Amino acid sequence: TQTVYHFGGNADHSDARQKDKTITGGKGANLAEMASIGLPVPPGFTITTEECLRYLDLGGDFPAELHDAVAKGVAHVEQTVGKKLGDAADPLLVSVRSGAAISMPGMMDTVLNLGLNDETVKGLAETSGDARFAWDSYRRFIQMYSDVVLGIDHGLFEEALEIMREDNGFYSDTEMEASHWEELTREYLKIVANEQDKPFPQDVDTQLWGAIRAVFDSWDSERAKIYRRLNDIPHDLGTAVNVQAMVFGNMGDDSATGVAFTRDPSTGEKYYYGEWLVNAQGEDVVAGIRTPQYLTKARREEAGADKPSMEEAMPAAYEELARVFDLLEKHYKDMQDIEFTVQQGQLFLLQTRTGKRTAKAALKMAVEMESEGLIDRKTAVLRIDPMALDQLLHPTLDPDAARDILTKGLPASPGAASGKIALDADTAELWANRGDAVILVRVETSPEDIHGMHAAKGILTARGGMTSHAAVVARGMGRPCVSGASGVSIDRKARTLRIGSAELAEGDVVTLDGGNGQVMRGQVDTIEPELAGDFAKVMEWADEARRMGVRTNAETPEDCKTARSFGAEGIGLCRTEHMFFDADRIMAVREMILAEREDGRRAALTKLLPEQRSDFEAIFEVMAGLPCTIRLLDPPLHEFLPSEDSDIDDIAAATGVGAEQLKRRIAELHEFNPMLGHRGCRLGITYPEIYEMQARAIFEAVCAVKERTGEAPLPEVMIPLVATRRELEILRALVDRVAEEVFAETGTRVEYLVGTMIELPRAALMAGEIAEEARFFSFGTNDLTQTTLGVSRDDASRFLGTYVDRGIFARDPFVSLDVDGVGQLVELAAERGRKTDPKLKLGICGEHGGDPASIAFCEQVGLDYVSASPFRVPIARLAAAQAAL
């Protein structure tokens, strides 16, 4: 197999292009693609991801065949450029960059200006006629190489640079002359020699292989692993390595470098969005050390910035760039994220990839690209990540609320967030884990901060532009972010900070508005999200495309209303026990449980009946005309029992039963394994009066709502934790009997169904028989996962993380259905049930009903609907559509 692919010059691009990205990585594939359509790409070569995997497999040894292939790659670049690596008179310089199949912005390593040493730097000075540039390039190379390859703290170099500036009284690097850079370079070389007890590698081959090794190794770096875990990227893909001829954006005032998006990745608006810097190298833009300039004149004027836009300062190169933007967007039929360099007036493209975007931007782009005719409706629906919709469904800041604005930065990632200030990633994570909302505040973020950014509700940085690490990562995660807020200064030792003129301390609450860059003191009021516009359009397209229904898991009228506003078409699971916890009824529930005999239970149930009935009435009014699956009592009774002595005394007072006797009863009710104990339909079998009361409450409520409004919902009475046909037969007869009693008493008759949950392996296996008694099945995949895997859903978090890390489970099986295992039971039960009754209704009400991958599986096995918590309803609608397309 081919281990290296060439691009640029007269390379044969067809083979690299035809390979899928899993082999050459996203960056490599796109460089070859751009070169093949005639765009100016500096020549280079890509080492495949397969070589990375082989290297890691060999425990960090290079595969034998790689040496020749890399030598040929280098020869290709040398030939195309007409310079040689290591040539003292006229050296070729290259960049070495990672490029995985799935882009992981900022997660892995890059080395620029490779090929410089004490000799070639002189050649570069000679041929470029610019000694300042040559020495600056060399010192940058030493700094990057030392950080990435040799693992030397880059702070040491920053310090040396700082001292050099101070000693000379310089404000900025632009004041540094060639001699200063040369002196600094010597200083850097000393630092390296000190830190690693051997000199900086002068041999260019050693440099190249060191960089390749570092890129390979970066695949397994801690930060890359965390990024993959957070983004569900498999760990076994490996990264490709791209070695490419350098072009220089720092060769004077007719040179520049920049990062651009073909549309605004925050809002989705169609204009060229980006940042550039004159006389700079790529990392200067992203690192946020200098404040970048706007690309277009219109944007610059809008922002009131004085430094000229690229459109104004370099009209010819800008024009060329604009042409490339259009070409690339048409070619890839999607928004592109592009890196470019202008070297002495000439434009080069260093990267293009599909740009990360916020949910809001994704919707806008999909709708606009559809109307532009760039993509069709199906593509538009398929292009939105269902999980990303979550960002849009939550409240935003109330425009009328009072705002104590402390400062303003760049609106780097939209949305609003309030929380306690945390000054480092570990603190952010710690506080978030204990349940606090946290805003991570940093001078700038680096890939090491990724866990803290994920834990935080929002991110604020003092430095960095719209394309800085913080901005890119925050947008990808859907976290609000304000970047480059220069009014923020942090005292890391005192753990205090100044924002604008306010003195704050870590732990104080601030609010960010990522849509306009405002930073506010305290918590600011929020309002409900706007669900019209692009969101509504895409949802409409999704609804046209999907086959499955989408219902909600809800047990309060408020949740039902929210879910309906999000498009729920019924209730898939109403957990009636949740209603038992309310303060005004928990006493009666406890009385019922603690009663030793049936008459005591009945007395308590009589008190509960009107409460349950009014709960159901309120829900049924909201859900009129829609199916509502109401589950009868499920959890083990001890969940409702008092644990505090004071509660026990209250019950004793209310019931006249002594506290000691109550305690004895509580001890009696103790179970060793309550999840497999006296719960679910087993309660209904042993204490039928409980289910009788609940059935009565349901039917009385339906009849009342029908009388009052003329429209009843369709109640679907659901029996939990059934294992046998006989259980269902007994309880179905009970429900039917109570229904007839209520119909006779009220003189109103309504339609209803009785069905069961499939939550036990035996129920799945015996589904054919159980279907004789059921009009519907609802897969309770929470319990079905627990009982099939033999993993306690309440205790699994202790080891599941390790299981996922070790690849035992691809994902947490309580979040995303174990399709291979538990999925078989679902499929088999659906088949067997439908064989008995072809009209049997099939749905899912476990948490998996809101997980896109699990929803795709439900489509595949032909379920009729999925049911998800209210905020997941739009996610489920879109995922169901994507599954059907």
Contacts with Mg ion, residue ranges (CB under 5 A): 759, 780, 783
Question: Could you tell which of Mg ion, ligand PEP, none binds residue 781, using a CB distance below 5 to 8 A set by kind?
Answer: ligand PEP
Of the candidates 842, 159, 747, 120, the one whose C-alpha atom is nearest the C-alpha of residue 549 is: 842
Of residues 146 and 781, the one with the C-beta less far from Mg ion:
781
* 75 residue type, one letter: A
Looking at 329, 334, 615, 783, which residue binds ligand PEP (CB under 6 A)? 783
Q: CB of 752: closest distance to ligand PEP in angstroms?
A: 20
Helix ranges, 1-59 (H): 13-18, 21-36, 49-57
When asked if residue 414 is in the footprint of ligand PEP (CB under 6 A), the reply is no
* 873 residue type, one letter: V
Cα 279 to Cα 257: distance, rounded to the nearest angstrom: 7
Tokens of 65: 């065949």
Of residues 437 and 675, the one with the C-beta less far from ligand PEP:
675
Helix ranges, 522-656 (H): 533-545, 557-565, 583-594, 598-622, 645-655
The answer to whether the CB of 204 falls within 8 A of the CB of 121 is no
Q: CB of 855: closest distance to ligand PEP in angstroms?
A: 15
When asked if residue 782 is in the footprint of ligand PEP (CB under 6 A), the reply is yes
Question: Could you tell which of ligand PEP, Mg ion, none binds residue 648, using a CB distance below 5 to 8 A set by kind?
Answer: none
| 469 tagged catalytic | yes
Of residues 534 and 634, the one with the C-beta less far from ligand PEP:
634
Q: CB of 841: closest distance to Mg ion in angstroms?
A: 18
275 to 334, contacts with ligand PEP by CB under 6 A? none
Binding mask 814-853 for ligand PEP (x = CB under 6 A): -------------------------------xx-------
Residue 14 has a CB neighbour count (10 Å cut-off) of 10
When asked if residue 202 is in the footprint of ligand PEP (CB under 6 A), the reply is no
Question: Could you tell which of Mg ion, ligand PEP, none binds residue 845, using a CB distance below 5 to 8 A set by kind?
Answer: ligand PEP
- How many residues make contact with ligand PEP (CB under 6 A)? 10
Looking at 106, 409, 780, 870, which residue binds ligand PEP (CB under 6 A)? 780
Q: CB of 30: closest distance to ligand PEP in angstroms?
A: 43
Q: Stretches 80-88, 227-235, 781-789, 871-879: which one binds ligand PEP (CB under 6 A)?
A: 781-789
Q: CB of 634: closest distance to ligand PEP in angstroms?
A: 6
Of the candidates 837, 835, 845, 884, the one whose C-alpha atom is nearest the C-alpha of residue 865 is: 845
* 272 residue type, one letter: Y
Q: CB of 402: closest distance to ligand PEP in angstroms?
A: 42
Tokens 């289910």 correspond to: 691
Rounded alpha-carbon distances, angstroms, from residue 523 to 80, 144, 406, 505: 59, 41, 13, 15
Of residues 130 and 851, the one with the C-beta less far from ligand PEP:
851
The dihedral through the CA atoms of 78, 81, 86, 89 has a sign that is positive
The answer to whether the CB of 237 falls within 8 A of the CB of 230 is no
Of residues 102 and 789, the one with the C-beta less far from Mg ion:
789
Binding mask 713-752 for ligand PEP (x = CB under 6 A): ----------------------------------------
| 670 tagged catalytic | no
Looking at 569, 759, 773, 818, which residue binds ligand PEP (CB under 6 A)? 759
Q: What is the four-CA torsion angle of 817, 818, 820, 826, rounded to 10 degrees?
A: -50
Q: CB of 868: closest distance to ligand PEP in angstroms?
A: 11
Q: Which residues pair with 256 in a beta bridge?
A: 278, 342
Cα 70 to Cα 6: distance, rounded to the nearest angstrom: 10
Q: CB of 782: closest distance to Mg ion in angstroms?
A: 5
When asked if residue 573 is in the footprint of ligand PEP (CB under 6 A), the reply is yes
Cα 139 to Cα 121: distance, rounded to the nearest angstrom: 10
Question: Could you tell which of Mg ion, ligand PEP, none binds residue 496, using a CB distance below 5 to 8 A set by kind?
Answer: none
92 to 111, contacts with ligand PEP by CB under 6 A? none
In the set 13, 180, 454, 469, the catalytic residue is: 469
358-379 core/surface letters (b: 16 or more CB in 10 A; e: else) = bbbbbbbbbbbbbeeebbebee
Rounded alpha-carbon distances, angstroms, from residue 868 to 5, 570, 580: 47, 11, 22
Strands (E), 213-328: 239-245, 256-261, 273-278, 293-294
Q: CB of 781: closest distance to ligand PEP in angstroms?
A: 5
Question: Could you tell which of ligand PEP, Mg ion, none binds residue 692, using a CB distance below 5 to 8 A set by kind?
Answer: none
When asked if residue 575 is in the footprint of ligand PEP (CB under 6 A), the reply is yes
The answer to whether the CB of 863 falls within 8 A of the CB of 843 is yes
509: number of CA atoms within 13 Å, CB side?
9
Q: Output the DSSP codes for 340-358.
A: EEEETTEEEEEEEEEPP--
The residues binding ligand PEP (CB under 6 A) are 573, 575, 634, 759, 780-783, 845-846
Active site residues: 469, 845
